[in-house]
A and B are shown apart, each in its own frame.
Chain A
Amino acid sequence: MTGWMGKIVKIDLGRRTQGAVVVSDAVRRQYIGGRGLGVKLYSDLCPGATDPLADDNALIFMTGPLTGTMMTSGRYQVVSRSPLTGTICDSSSGGHFGAALKGAGIDGLIIEGRAATPVYLSVHDGEVEVRDASAYWGLDTQLTQKGIQAETSSKTSVACIGPAGENRIIFAAIMNDKDRAAGRGGMGAIMGSKNLKAIAAGGSLPVAIGDPAGYKDLTARIDRIIDKNPVTGKSLQVLGTSVLVNIINAHGMFPTENFRRGVFNDAEGTSGEKIAETLLERQSACYKCPIGCGRTTRTRDKQGEGPEYETVWAFGAHLGISDLTAITEANYACNELGLDTITMGSTLGCAMELCETGAWKENLRWGDAGKLVDWVTDTAYRRGIGAELALGSKRLAAKYGRPELAMQVKGMEIPAYDPRGAQGMALSYATSNRGGCHMKAYLIAPEILGHPVFLDRFSTAGKAELVALFQDVSAVVDSAVLCRFLQFAVGISTFAEMLRVVTGLDFNDEELMTIGRRIYTMERLFNNRAGFGRGDDTLPPRFFNEEFQTGSSRHRLVRLDEMLDDYYKVRGWDKNGVPLQRTLAELGL
């Protein structure tokens, strides 16, 4: 077997037992690894309505056969049931940790149970050691990583939680390799609930390559493709993801003040261009990545990574804040404390509108940049107003009687693209298996960026087919595991080639499309069992009822009804969004 290490370790932190999990060749072929395999294993282990923060919930860290081989292959996936949404959730992070797990001799970890006292796992040479982490409990993610590295080796890659995860904040993140984040869905809270502070991995066990000559040729070719592509070869390097600020704002869909407006007057001051001018020290790259979209930045007193586009929005336009330094320092705080910046920022925006309408008698105000870091910190420690913010926008808004003011789908907050400006994104948000997420089907690429082809963003025609296509391809990339940004430059047939040369198995693009569909459908089945159906494939009322008055997305509403039935048909699901028997049979489910 090449590509995969062939070892997945299951560990029960309560019983202090561990053992190897055997995955058949057939299952490996059908789910590949990463998200796909993680979802499959999780569904088998916890098919029912397991409480995400209960001892018997499983938390899965999974890599794929390509992890630790070629460009962008340092990523890993975390899979479990989300405490934020209750759906199945896969959370992806960059950096080196995925490659470190392979170097340490394993494909993945399945963690069950709860340790009696704080522990961390040390993975090396195919073995998983449970170590005492009481010295680290309470420390932020940066100190934790440094501390564990000092104890093990400077080359160790550490994935850990900060105080937010320890306090089981339902949108706590897992941080690794300084500031890379498995941000969405609250996977950090699950780690916290298990008293698991960190996982450290290191080693130099090589990943076996099936066809070394073919691998060399293919990766040389892909290098050229990445270099020649203007997005991967230029834009992401020079300006990072925040290049999108001015673009999305110019399209009148930069959500401002809890999605009440689509144009932010001070967008310029929080753009990628502005970051490059004022805060940027240098770009940074993940494992073997030629793109290098990361931003190493510094404010007057602090330094760190980011902010990325989503964060620039979540702490910026979404809250009516244009102070880039404040936004950046709030971003650093989230990285240190281990919190998802999107949910954090979005919840603050919801809170501000709740206050403005008088539904909540607190004093959070639009534009109040000075308090950002305090709000973030209080949330991580669940103290003062933070105890309320820690609920996330859905529960917070429901608590104060205005559920419609939470900009969320299935409990996960919608990110920095207003769906009234792109009908395909509206469908994407509504049908994402982990809730309001832009990454599962990034329709912004064709609808706004014109990549690979330009589509009319206000048309609903053909969007259903497209959303399904993107969802399936993305599922494959998440299972290989590679970086989503490669999808700007290469397509599914090339991903098939990558898998062929590494695994030696004759994957082709049609099979990969089926695998993607299978993974997506399996996630859907889990969600169906967890009680999600057609009624949850929707958006907050604002998007159906309120029009922008200005900007180039003005006077537009989401027309989900024109796309949803089509989508179910394309997917082979019934009118309630439940997969039909023949669909399941086709996919071997």
Chain B
Amino acid sequence: MRRRVRTDAVEIAGDGLTIMALLRLAEEKTGQSFLDELLDKDKGLLTGTIILVNGENIRLGQGLETRVEAGDSVALFSPAGGG
């Protein structure tokens, strides 16, 4: 992800945005398109994509419709594995 985006963090202004909206804004702000690292062509989460809001996986919430508040920290990980 970082290689694509050329940064390891970005700050977005926006209270009450959904994660999907946030991702689009992040693409705009960083000037890099990276959604295909996280989403498939139908804009659904790829198997293995991890998106955490304050440490909680959005799949346990409302997925890409999960809303964030000011001060929230969102972590994006493209599919990974290890041992």
- Measured CB to CB, the residues of A under 8 A from B are 230-232, 234-236, 238-244, 246-247, 250-252, 268, 273, 293, 308-310, 438-439, 442, 445, 448-454, 456, 484-485, 488, 551-553
Q: Is the interface of A mostly helix, strand, loop or mixed?
A: helix
Which residues does chain B contribute within 8 Å of A243, judged by CB atoms? 80-82
Q: Which residue of B lies closest to A232 (CB)?
A: B81
Cα distance, A484 to B83, chains bound together (Å): 9
Q: Considering the complex, give the chain B residue whose CB is closest to the CB of A554.
A: B55
Which residues of B have CB within 8 Å of A293?
Answer: 82
**Which residues of chain A are near B12, meaning CB under 8 Å?**
none
> Interface size on B (CB < 8 Å)?
23
**What is the bound-complex CA distance between A250 and B80, given in angstroms?**
14
Complex: chain A residue closest to B52, CB-CB = A250
Query: 7 closest pairs, A vs B, by CB?
Result: A552-B55, A241-B82, A231-B81, A230-B79, A235-B80, A244-B82, A243-B80
Contact of B78 with A by CB under 8 A: yes
Residues of B bordering A, CB below 8 Å: 2-3, 8, 46-50, 52, 54-57, 59-60, 75, 77-83
How far, in angstroms, from A48 to B83 measured CA to CA in the complex?
32
Most interface-central of B52, B56, B75, B83 (chain A CB within 10 A): B83
B56–A442 contact, CB under 8 A? no
> Assuming A236-B82, A246-B77, what are 13 further A-B pairs, CB within 8 angstroms?
A234-B78, A235-B79, A239-B80, A240-B82, A241-B82, A247-B77, A250-B52, A310-B83, A445-B81, A449-B48, A450-B48, A451-B81, A454-B57
- Please determine whether A551 and B48 come into contact, CB atoms closer than 8 angstroms: no
The closest CB in chain B to the CB of A245 belongs to B82
A529 to B: closest C-beta gap in Å: 30
State whether A309 and B79 are in contact (beta carbons under 8 Å apart), knowing that A251-B52, A448-B50, A450-B59 are contacts in the complex.
no
Inter-chain contact A552/B56, CB cutoff 8 Å? yes
Supposing A450-B49, A451-B48 touch, asked if A552 and B81 sit within 8 A by C-beta, the answer is no
Instruction: Give Cα distance in the complex from A242 to B82, angstroms.
Output: 7
Chain B hits for A485, CB < 8 A? 81, 83
Nearest to B75 among chain A residues (CB) is A250
Does the CB pair B47–A451 fall under 8 Å?
Answer: yes
Chief secondary structure at chain B's binding surface: loop
What are the residues of chain B within 8 A of A439 when measuring CB–CB?
Answer: 83
Asked whether, in the complex, the Cβ of A456 is within 8 Å of the Cβ of B60, the reply is yes
Q: Select which of B46, B56, B83 is within 8 A of A241 by beta carbon.
A: B83
Query: From B82, which residue of chain A is reached at the shortest CB distance?
Result: A241
Q: Write the chain A residue with the least CB distance to B49.
A: A450
Residues of A within 8 A of B52 (CB): 250-251, 552
Tell me the bound Cα distance from A34 to B83 in angstroms.
20
Q: Quick one: given A241-B83, A252-B55, A442-B83, are A230 and B46 in contact (CB under 8 Å)?
A: yes
Can you list 16 contacts pairing A with B, beta carbon distance less than 8 Å?
Answer: A234-B79, A236-B80, A239-B80, A243-B82, A244-B80, A246-B77, A273-B2, A310-B83, A438-B83, A442-B83, A450-B47, A450-B49, A453-B47, A454-B57, A488-B81, A553-B55
Known contacts A230-B48, A448-B50; is A309 also within 8 Å of B81 by CB? no
Min CB distance A460 to B, Å, is 15
CB distance from B81 to the nearest CB of A (A): 4
**Bound Cα distance from A552 to B58, whole angstroms:** 13
Q: How far is the CA of A309 from the CA of B83 in the complex (A)?
A: 7
Given A450-B47, A450-B48, A456-B60, also A552-B54 (CB < 8 A): yes
- Tell me how far the C-beta of A81 lies from the nearest C-beta in chain B, rounded to whole angstroms: 24
Chain B residues near A308 (CB-CB < 8 A): 83
In angstroms, Cα B6 to Cα A12, docked, is 59
Name which residue of chain A comes closest to B81, CB basis: A231
Q: Are A551 and B55 in contact (CB under 8 A)?
A: yes
B56 touches A247 (CB 8 A): no
Q: How far is the CB of B11 from chain A (nearest CB, A)?
A: 17
What residue of chain B has the Cβ atom nearest to residue A248's Cβ?
Answer: B82
Residue with the highest number of chain B CB atoms closer than 10 Å, among A238, A239, A244, A250:
A250
Give CA–CA (A488, B47) in the complex, Å.
11
Judging by beta carbons under 8 Å apart, are A231 and B80 in contact? yes
**Inside 8 A of A251's CB, which chain B residues have their CB?**
52, 55
Q: How far is the CB of A551 from chain B (nearest CB, A)?
A: 7
B58 to chain A, nearest CB (A): 10
State how many angstroms separate the Cβ of A91 from the closest Cβ of chain B. 14
Q: For residue A253, which residue of chain B has the nearest CB? A: B55
A420 to chain B, nearest CB (A): 13
Chain A residue nearest to B55 in the complex (CB): A552
Known: A230-B46, A247-B50, A552-B54. A235 touches B78 (CB 8 A): yes
Docked complex Cα distance between A239 and B75 (Å): 18
Other-chain residue from B75, B81, B83 in contact with A235 (beta carbon distance below 8 A): B81
Q: Which residues of A contact B3 (CB under 8 A)?
A: 238
Name which residue of chain A comes closest to B3, CB basis.
A238
Residues of A within 8 A of B79 (CB): 230-231, 234-235, 449-451
Q: Which of A234, A250, A309, A454 contacts B55 (CB 8 A)?
A: A250
Residues on the A chain within 8 Å of B46, using CB: 230
Complex interface: chain B residues within 8 A of A241 (CB): 82-83
Q: How far is the CA of A238 from the CA of B49 in the complex (A)?
A: 16
